[in-house]
Structure 1
Amino acid sequence: MTRSALPIDPILPDLVAALAAHGRAVLQAPPGAGKTTRVPPALLAAGAPGRILMLEPRRLAARASAERMAAELGEPVGRTVGYTMRGEARVSAGTRIEVVTEGILTRRLQADPGLDGVSTLIFDEFHERSLQADLGLALAWEVRGALRPDLRLLVMSATLDAAPVAALLDAAPVLTAQGRAFPVDTRWLDTPPASGRGAPRLPEAAADLTCRALGETEGGVLVFLPGEAEIRRCLAALTPRLPADCIALPLYGALPAAAQRDALAPAAPGLRKIVLATAIAETSLTIDGIRVVVDAGRARRARFDPGSGMSRLVTERVTRAEAEQRRGRAGRVAPGICYRMWTRGAEGALAAFPPAEIEAADLTGLALELAQWGAGPEALAFLTPPPAAALAEAQALLTGLGALDAAGRITDHGRALAALPLHPRLGHMLTRAGAQAAPLAALLGERDPLRAPQGCDLDLRLRALRQPGGVGDPATCKRIAAEARRLARRAPATDAPMTTGEMAALAYPDRIALHRPGDAPRFVLSGGKGAALPEDDPLAAQRLLAVTDLDGDPREARIRRAAPLSESSLRALFADRIEAVTVCAWSRRERRVTARVQERLGALVLSDRAWSDAPDTELARAALDGVRELGLGLFDGARGFTLLRARLAAARAARPDLPDPSDVALLEQADDWLLPFLGQVRSAADLRAFDPTPALRAALDFDQAQALDRLAPPAYTTPLGRRIPIDYSAERPEIALRLQELFGETRHPQVGGQPLRVTLLSPAGRPVQTTMDLPGFWAGSYADVRKDMRARYPRHPWPEDPTRADPTLRAKPRGR
C-alpha cells in the first residue's frame, strides 16, 4: 500500500526524541493528521524495544487502525501489527504494535503490573475522557513510578487542553501537529426543527436534510446520528429517495467487520457514497472522499442510570467541541459544506465540551478495579478524581455483592468478578448461577431486543432470543446470542436450575419489589424506593418481582424490566440477609403506637405480627414520637401546663438556667423531661387527655423550683385565703377573681414587686372591670359599678365603702 504524506509526518522525529529523552509526552494533533496510524510505526522504526501497546477507546477504531497500519507495512493484521478486544484477537508472537480496547488494557495492568515485554503505552483519542482511559493512565503512571521507570507513556488527543495532562505527567513535553484542513461552509436551519405530535422524528428529519444536501452539493456525505437505532431508521427513510448513483452505508460499533470496511473504503467509480455514522467517525476514523457533513446534533454518552443501576448510553445534544470535530470532517480532502440540524441561534446554548465520563458514569467497575489494585483514588494520578459520593455508593454495592469485605478490601469473589468482562452486578449473577445466566447477562447489557413494547417481563425477551425472526429485532438478538455464548464459556458449572427472577435477584438484590397493599400495581423496593407498573402489564398482580430496570423517577419509578420471584426463592437466596426486627413506632396513619415483630429483607416486610410483650420503655418512646409529630398543641387543654410554661418564660430573664419553655426547646429535650411519664400513653386520644404539668415540674431541681416560686409565684392568696393562679402568658401577669373577695383590701395585689393586672368578676363570674390600681378603683369607678350591680345582684353585698367591708363569697339569705 502506498504511503501518502500526512500532516503528522514532520513532527514524528521530534516526538521520537521527546519520548527517548523524557519517557513521556503529550501529542496534540487535529483529526485527520494521521497520529493514530503513523505514530506507533514511527516509534517502532526508531528502535522502540518490546511491544508498543496503543489504547483505542472504540472497537471499530481499534480494528480499523490496526488494519491500516498493517496495510501500510504490506502485511496482514496479526503479524507486526495486531489488535485485541473483547471476544476477538489478531496477534502473534511476532506482534510489535498491538491496538487494544479499554477493558483489555486494565486487565493487562491488573494481571501484570510490570507490563513485561511492553516498552511504550499510547493513549489515543484521550480527549474523549473515557473512564477506562483515565483509570488506565492513572495505573500506568503508578507502574512507571514504582516498577517500570523505563516505561514510555504517550497521550494523544485531537481536542484537549494539554496543560493539565502534561502537569499530571510531571511536566511532560507537549508537541503540537498542524492539520491539513480546507475551508468548510456551515449551513444552519432557518427555523428550529418541528416538534410535537406529527413532527418527523430525528432519523426522518436527518434523512430530509441529507436529501437536501445531496441536491446542493457533490462528493461523499457523512451523516452523524447518535446510535444504531437512529442509523437504521434514517437509512430506511433515505434509501427509497436516493438517486441511482448514490449508495448509503451504515457505520457503528456493533456492525460486522466486513460491513465496517465497506463504509470506510472509497466509493466505487461512478457512485456517490453516503455514510450514516455514530460519533466514532468524529476523530477516530478516516473515511475517504467525504466532502459534506450532515450533523443531526445528537451524541450518545455513558451516564450512570439510577433506573438500571449501571451506566446507560443516553442521547444528548452535541457540545460545541463535538460539532466542530464533525464539521472538520467535510474539509479533509477539499473545501466542504456542513449542514447542522439546528438554528444558528441555538448554537450558543450548546455546552462547550462533553463531560469526562468519570464525572457522570457508574463507578462500580472503577471501585472494583481500585480495590483489586490496592489503592484509593487519592493515591493515583487521576486527571479528574472520581466523585466521592458516587464512589461510596459503588463501594456499598460491591460490599452487598460480597466483592468487598467490611473494610473495603477485595475478596476472592471480587477478584473473580474483576476477571469477567461484565458489570459486577452481572458478573455476580453469572458466577452464582452459572452458564444458565449467560443469556440474561448478555440481554441486560444490551438494548431491548423487542421490536415493539410488549410489557416488562424479562422472560418474554429471553424467549425472543430463542426464536429468531419472531418478536425480536434480528440484529440485536443475534448480537445478544453471540455474547451469551461467549459468557457461557466463562461461567462456572452449576447443577441447580434457576428461574429468571432468581437470577435477576442475584444481580439486583436492592431491586426486589414487594407489592404494596391494595389493587394498584405499586411496589416497594428492597433498597427503600417506590416503584410501579402500568396497570395492564401482565406482571401487575405479582406479589414479588426482581426488577432490573427502572426509569429513575426519584418519587416512584416506573418499572421497565422485571421478572416474577417466589417468596420461597427469595428466602432461599437471601436467608442470611433476612432478619427478624421488632418495631415499636408511632403510626402517622393510625395516630397511635404500633408494636410489631417483622421479618425484613432491606425495606421489604415479608411477615408482620403483633408484638404483644413490647417493653413499656419502647412504647413510651413511640408515644413520644407521636408528641413530636402532633406538637405540644395536644396539651392545650391542660391549663396547669400552660401556666407553668408562662411562669418559666417570665422567670428566665432573672434565671437563665431555668428550662426553656418554647415548643422547639421542650420537644428537643422531651427525652429527658416527658419520656419517663408516658408509660401508659398509646394514642392521640390518650395524649390529649394527658397532663404533662407534673413531668415539666419534675424537670426542675430544688434550687430551680425555689427560684421559680420566688420570681414567678404560681398563685395570689386572697384575703379569704384562696389561691388564685397567676397567668403569666399575657403582657403582664394577671389574676381574675370575684370583686367581693377583695373587700377590705386597700393595696393593689403584686407579684415580684410589680402590680398584677386584676380582672374583677361579677357574682356570675363575668368581667366587670380590669384594673392595675385597686385603691383608685374603690375611690373612683366602683360607685358606678355598685349602682349597676346592686340592681342585677341584689342578694350580694355592695357596700358604699368597700375598703371597710369584709371580703366574702356569700350571698344574703333569701328574704333579707
Structure 2
Amino acid sequence: MSNSPLPIDEALPELKRALAGSGGAVLVAEPGAGKTTRVPLALLGEIWLQGRKIVMLEPRRLAARSAAAYMAKALGEQVGRTVGYRVKMDTKVGAETRIEVVTEGVLTRMLQADPALEDVGLVIFDEFHERSLQADLGLALSLQSRALLREDLKLLVMSATLEAEPAAALLGGAPVVRSSGRSFPVETVYRPKPTAEKTEEAVARAAMDALRAHEGDLLVFLPGMAEIRAAEARLRERLRDSAFNVRVLPLHGGLSHEEQDRALAPLPEGERKIVLATSVAETSLTVEGVTVVIDSGLMRVSRFSPRTGMSRLDTVTVSAASADQRRGRAGRLRPGVCYRLWSAEQQSALPPRSQPEMMEADLAPLLLELAVWGIGDPGELDWLDAPPARALQQARELLGQLGALDGSGRNATEHGRRMAELGKHPRIAHMLLRSLPLGLGSLACDIAVVLEERDLLRYSGGQTPTADLRARIEALRGYGAYQADEGTRRRLNEEARRLRRELGAEPSGEGKERADDCGLLLAFAYPDRIGRQRESGKYLLSGGRGAEFGRGQELIREPWVVVADVDDAGADSRIRLAAPAVLERLTAVMPEAVTAESDVFWDAEAKAVRGRGRRKLGAIVLEEKPLGQLPDELRTRVLLEGIRSEGLELLPWTKAARQFQERAAFARRHDESWPDLSDEALLATLEDWLAGYADGMKSRADLQQLNVKELLEAALPWERRRRLDEEAPTHWTVPSGSRVPIDYGDPDAPFVAVRLQELFGLPETPRIAGGRVPLTLRLLSPAQRPVQVTRDLASFWSGAYFEVRKDLKGRYPKHYWPDNPLEAEATRRVRPRQ
C-alpha cells in the first residue's frame, strides 16, 4: 500500500471504530481526500470483515476501472488479484480478489443471484451524492438483505457533497465521519458565453486563452459527445497554426479502454493536453497534469415524461454542487484556475444540487428488479426518496405489455426473470429474447448496442443526420452511406459479440436480413411506438402519441415505422430514430399486440344505440365495421346511458304523465316518506323503473311506444296510488258541476283556474291532502281572464268580491252578478236556468 499521505488518513481510525461498532456509517470527504482508493484498502484487514470481500460501487465504468487500477498499483499487483472490477461487458476478478469495484447494475445482479451476499462483508456506495437510480435501488435491497438475512453485513455510504443526516437515518442512525479534502487554491474566472455563440466556439476561445495564460493541462467539461466532437474540431483548427505542442483528447463513457486511459495518463515532458470530457470526469477520477478547468456549465440527463411514457435526453445547467466538483479538478495537484462560461449572477441562481435520478427516470428497470426480488410494492423498502407513483404505474403497464409481470402486476413471470438476468433495459431485454426463435438474435444484439449508444454516426460535409436505424447497423458493420467513429465501432462490435455469446445467438448474418427486420425487432422493444402514417404525413403511434419526421428524412414515405427515439416536444414529437415495418409481418409475429373490441355507444345525432367492432394495434384502428345483433343487456344499458346524457325529454311525455309526476312531488313535499319521482331521481334510477319496459328498444323512435304515466304509476305501490288519488286528486268538481283540473306545478301552492260564477254558493276554500293544504283559486272572468287570486274564499266573498263585481258588471252586463254570492246559484252559463 502506498505510503503517500492523504487527508482521508486522519479520518480512517474514526471510520474503523464506527464500522466496528455499528452496521454502517456515512463518510463525508471533500474532493481530493482520497476516500475512493484509500478506504477499501484500509478496511481490508478489519476483524469484523472475517475474510469476506469488500464490494464498492462506482457510478461510472471509467471510474470503477480507474479506482481498481489505482488500488492494485498501490499494492504492487495487477488488476484481478486482490483488487478487481466488474463493469458492463468487462470483468477482471480472480480467486484471490478481496475488493471488487463494480458499477451499480452489477451489484443488483449480485444481490439477485445471492440475496444474502454470503461472501461479502462490506458494501461501499461511493459518490452517493450523484443519487443514480441503481445506487438508490442497490442501497434499498442491501438494507433489506441486512434486515432479513445478514445482520452482520456492513454498509458504508461515501460522498463529497451529500447531506449526511438523511443517509445516516436511512442506515438506522449510523455514525457520520467527516474528512477534509486536499486541494490547492483555485482561481475562478467568470466569462459568460454570448447568447448567439455556440458552446464549442466559446470553449475553444477559452482554451486558447488558458494555454497562453497558464501552465499545465486543461480539462474541459461539455454536456455530451456531439459537443465534444464539435469542440475537438474547433480546437484542432485553432491549434494547427499555433506554436503549442498540445494534444486534444476526448474522455467519455463511449470510448474504448485504451482511449480513456490515454486521456487520463500523464504526457511526456514538454507536451500538454486538452481533455474534453462529459461529467464522467466530475468525481472519482484524477486527470494527471490538469491545472485549468473550463466548465461549459451544462450536462446531459435522461428525463422520463409521465405525460408521454417516453424518456428524452435533456441538456441542463449543472447544480452548484456539480460546478464546485468540476472546479476542484483544477486544484488536485497544484494551484489552478477555473473558467466558468457563465456570470457570477448566474452562479448564484444555480440549484444547490441535482435532482435524484429516481424522481426523473424511467422506473421500468427498477420495478422489474423489485418484482424479481419479490417486492410487489416499492413502499415495502426504505428509500431516501420514494419512487413517484405515476412513473411507477406507467412502468407497471409497460412491463405488463412486455410480458414481464403476471396478471396481478406484482410478480415477475419466468420471461421477466430472464429479462432481468440480461442486465439490460426491459425493452431491450424483451427484444433480445423474442429475437431468438426468429433467428434474428445476431441483428438484435447489434440493435441493442446501437440503441445504448448516443449516436455512433459521424456525418461528412453535406450529409443530413438520418433517423434510420438501418444506417447505424450498416455503419456498425462497416458499410453503407454513413461512417462511424472507428474506435466506437470496434467497441460496439466487441460488446455485440459478447452479447451474442451470452444469448447463444448465431453469428452475424450481415446483409441477409429482410428490409423490415430492424423494424420488427424494434416493435418488440417499443410496442407502444409502432407508427401508422396519417393523411397529413405525420404518424399516430400505438401508444396514442403523434410523431413526425423532420425534412429530408428517407423514412418519410413509409406507411408503417417503429420509433425508438423522439424528442417529446409538442403534440407531434420529432422522430430521431426509427425503422420501417410491414404491418402483416408485425401482426403475424406478435399477435398479442392486436386486440379486438366491440364498442356499443349512444349516437347523439341519430338518437340511437349503435355498435362497432374494431381490430386495434394499441391506439391505431386497423379495421372497423358495424356490429350486427347487440346483446340485449348491453343494448339496454347503453340506451339508458343515452337517456341520462340527453335527458328525459327523449321519452313521450304527456300532460297526464307530467301531472302525475307533479302530484307525486306535491305528496312528497308534505310527507317525505313518498318516493321521489323528480327528473333528477328518475334519471338516477332508470334501471329500476324503465329498464324492464325498454327491452328490445334501441332508439328514440322505439321509446315513443312507452306510456310514461303508466310507468310512473307502476313505480308506486297500489296503496300509494290510492292515497295519491285521495290526497292529490287530478280534478276538483266546482259548485257548477264542472271538473276543473288541479295544477301541481308548484307543490307549495297547487291551484285551479275557474270562472268566478261557477263558485257562487261555496262558502270556504276547498282543501286537499286530507284537508291540510288549501287550493289556490285563480278566479277568471267570463272571458277566462284572471280577476283575482285567493286562498281565503270567505274573505273574498265578504270584501273584494264587491269591487270585482262592480268591474265585471260593467264589462259583462248580461251576466249574472248577484248581491249575495253565498246565496246565489253557481252557473256555467250567462245566467242560471229559471
Q: TM-score scaled by structure 2?
A: 0.83
CA offsets 1:49-93 (integer angstroms, 9 cap, x no match): 244322111011112212222333333333333322111223333
| Aligned equivalent of 1:226 | 223
Cα distance between partner residues in 1 of 2:657 and 2:235: 82
What residue in structure 1 maps to residue 368 of structure 2?
368
Match of 2:671 in 1: 655
Separation in 2, partners of 1:708, 1:559: 71
Is the Cα–Cα contact under 8 Å of residues 308 and 549 in structure 1 kept in the other structure?
A: no
Q: 2:13: which partner in 1?
A: 13
Determine whether 1:533 maps to 2:548. Answer: yes
- SS of alignment partner, residue 354 of structure 2: coil
Answer whether contact 1:740 1:807 (CA < 8 A) is retained: yes
CA contact (8 A) 2:309 2:394 kept: no
Alpha-carbon distance change, 580 to 302 in structure 1, aligned in 2, over 3 angstroms = closer
Deviation at 1:36, TM superposition (A): 0.8
SS state at 2:181 partner: coil
460-469 or 319-328, which moves further after superposition? 460-469
Kept after mapping to 1: 8 A contact 2:201/2:231: yes
Shift of residue 811 of structure 1?
12
* 1:128–1:679 distance in 2 versus 1, CA, 3 Å: same
SS at match of 1:352: coil
Q: After TM superposition, give the deviation of residue 759 of structure 1 in Å.
A: 4.8
What is the correspondence of 1:64-83 to structure 2 with a 5 Å cutoff?
64-83=66-85
SS in 2 for 1:137: helix
The answer to whether the 8 Å contact 1:727/1:735 transfers is no
Q: Does 1:447 align with 2:454?
A: yes
Contact 1:783/1:800 (<8 A) preserved:
no
Q: Which residue of 1 aligns with 2:260?
A: 260
Partners of 1:445 and 1:325 in 2: CA distance = 27
Structure-1 residue corresponding to 2:520: 502
* Residues 548 and 572 in structure 2, CA contact (< 8 A), matched pair in contact too: no
Report the counterpart of residue 58 of structure 1 in structure 2.
Answer: 60
1:615 maps to 631
Report 1:307-322 matches (<5 A). Answer: 312-322=312-322
CA distance in 1, matches of 2:517, 2:181: 57
Do the aligned residues in 1 keep the contact of 2:550 with 2:574 (CA within 8 Å)?
A: no
Task: Rate the CA distance shift 1:642–1:438 in 2: closer, same or farther, 3 A.
Answer: farther
Q: Deviations over 1:622-654 (max 9, x none)?
A: 122222333456569765565555555544443
From 779, 784, 797, the equivalent of 2:807 is 784
1:722 aligned onto 2:762: no
For residues 141-290 of structure 1, the aligned pairs below 5 Å read 141-188=143-190, 199-208=196-205, 210=207, 219-241=216-238, 244-245=243-244, 247-266=247-266, 268-290=268-290
Question: Are 1:439 and 1:484, in contact at CA under 8 Å, matched by a contact in 2?
Answer: yes
Say which is worse superposed, 623-632 or 755-764, in terms of deviation.
755-764
Cross-structure match for 1:406: 407
Unmatched segments (≥5 aa) in structure 2:
none
Contact kept, 8 Å, 1:78 with 1:90, in 2: the verdict is yes
Provide the residue aligned with 1:332 in structure 2: 332
In structure 1, give the amino acid aligned to 2:300: R
Q: Structure 1's 308 and 5: CA in aligned 2 closer, same or farther, altered over 3 A?
A: farther
Q: State whether residues 652 and 706 of structure 2, in contact with CA within 8 Å, keep that contact through their aligned partners in structure 1.
A: no
Change in Cα spacing, 1:423 to 1:809, as seen in structure 2 (3 Å) is farther
Q: Which moved more, 1:761-770 or 1:10-19?
A: 761-770
Matched-pair contact (CA < 8 Å) for 2:122–2:154: yes
Local SS of the residue matching 1:26? strand
SS class of match (2:282):
helix
| Helix, strand or coil at the partner of 1:25 | strand
Partner SS state of residue 780, structure 1: helix
Q: Distance in 2 between matches of 1:307 and 1:445?
A: 23
Return the letter of the residue paired with 2:689.
W
Tell me the residue number matched to 1:668. 684
Task: Give a deviation string over 1:299-323, Cα, whole Å, max 9, x none.
Answer: 3334334588565543333223223
The alignment partner of 1:486 has SS state of helix
Deviation, structure 1 residue 726: 0.9
Question: Which amino acid in the other structure matches residue 10 of structure 1?
Answer: E
Please say if 1:485 is aligned against 2:501: no
Q: CA deviation at 1:557?
A: 5.6
* Count of aligned residue pairs for this structure pair: 799
Contact 2:602 2:642 in 1 (8 A): yes
Residues 521 and 532, structure 1, Cα contact 8 Å, conserved in 2:
no
Counterpart of 2:646 in structure 1 is 630
- Paired residue for 1:470? 481
Change (3 A) 1:151 1:530: closer
CA contact (8 A) 2:665 2:747 kept: no
Aligned equivalents of 2:721, 2:148: Cα separation in 1: 72
Q: Please, which of 580, 584, 603 is the counterpart of residue 568 of structure 1?
A: 584
Report the CA distance between 1:284 and its aligned residue. 1.8
1:358–1:386 contact (8 Å) kept in structure 2: yes
The RMSD of aligned alpha carbons is 4.1
Task: Report the residue type matching 2:138 in the other structure.
Answer: G
Q: Do 1:799 and 1:805's aligned partners in 2 also have CA atoms closer than 8 Å?
A: no
Partners in 2 of 1:249 and 1:563 — Cα distance?
Answer: 34
SS in 2 for 1:293: strand
Cα pair distance change 1:43/1:530, threshold 3 Å: closer
Could you say if the C-alpha distance between residues 559 and 223 of structure 1 is closer, same or farther in structure 2, counting changes exceeding 3 Å? closer
- Residue 581 of structure 1 and its aligned partner are, at CA, apart by 3.8
Give 2:225's aligned amino acid. Answer: E
CA contact (8 A) 2:659 2:744 kept: yes
Q: CA deviation at 1:698?
A: 3.4
Equivalent residue, structure 2, for 1:384 = 385
Question: How far apart in 1 are the matches of 2:582 and 2:657?
Answer: 55
Q: 1:432 aligns to what SS in structure 2?
A: helix
Of residues 325-334 and 468-477 in structure 1, the stretch that sits farther from structure 2 once superposed is: 468-477
1:92 is matched with 94
Residue deviations 1:710-744 (CA, integer Å, cap 9, x gap): 66555545554434241424874344456666566
Does the 8 Å contact 1:581/1:597 carry over to 2?
yes
Are 1:808 and 2:828 counterparts? yes
**What amino acid is aligned across from residue 364 of structure 1 in structure 2?**
A
Say whether the 8 Å CA contact 2:320–2:353 is kept in structure 1: yes
Instruction: Please tell me whether the aligned partners of residues 636 and 642 of structure 1 are also in contact (alpha carbons under 8 angstroms).
Output: no
Aligned pairs for 1:508-523 (under 5 A) are 508-513=526-531, 519-521=535-537
In structure 2, C-alpha distance between the alignment counterparts of 1:98 and 1:438, rounded to whole Å? 28
Asked whether 1:438 is paired with 2:445, we answer yes
| Separation in 2, partners of 1:41, 1:290 | 26
When residues 128 and 579 of structure 1 are mapped into structure 2, their CA distance, relative to the original with a 3 A threshold, is closer
| TM-score of the superposed pair, with normalisation by structure 1 | 0.84
CA distance in 2, matches of 1:540, 1:361: 30
Deviation, 1:420, is 0.8
Percentage of matched positions with identical amino acids = 45
Structure 1, unpaired ranges of 5+: none
2: CA distance, partners of 1:214 / 1:784: 115
Question: Counterpart of 2:85 in 1: which secondary structure?
Answer: strand
CA shift, 1:379, in A, is 4.5
Structure 2 Cα separation of the partners of residues 457 and 642 of structure 1: 68
| Higher deviation after alignment, 561-570 or 760-769 | 760-769
CA distance in 1, matches of 2:190, 2:255: 30
Q: Which residue identity is paired with 1:131?
A: L
Q: Which amino acid aligns with 1:321?
A: A
Q: Deviations over 1:106-146 (max 9, x none)?
A: 22222233445444332211121222222222333444455
CA distance in 2, matches of 1:82, 1:141: 24
Using a 3 Å threshold, how does the CA distance of structure 1 residues 182 and 738 change in structure 2: closer, same or farther? farther
Would the aligned equivalents of 1:369 and 1:418 in 2 still touch at CA under 8 Å?
A: yes
Q: In 2, are the aligned partners of 1:674 and 1:696 still within 8 Å (CA)?
A: no
Offset at 1:331? 3.5
How far off its partner does 1:594 sit?
Answer: 0.8
Aligned to 2:359: 359
Task: Trace 1:598-609 onto structure 2 (pairs within 5 A).
Answer: 598-600=614-616, 603-609=619-625
Q: Report the 3-state secondary structure (helix = DSSP H, G, I; strand = E; otherwise coil) of the residue aligned with 1:300.
A: strand
5 Å matches for 1:731-746?
732-736=749-753
The answer (yes or no) to whether the contact 1:531–1:558 under 8 Å persists in 2 is: no
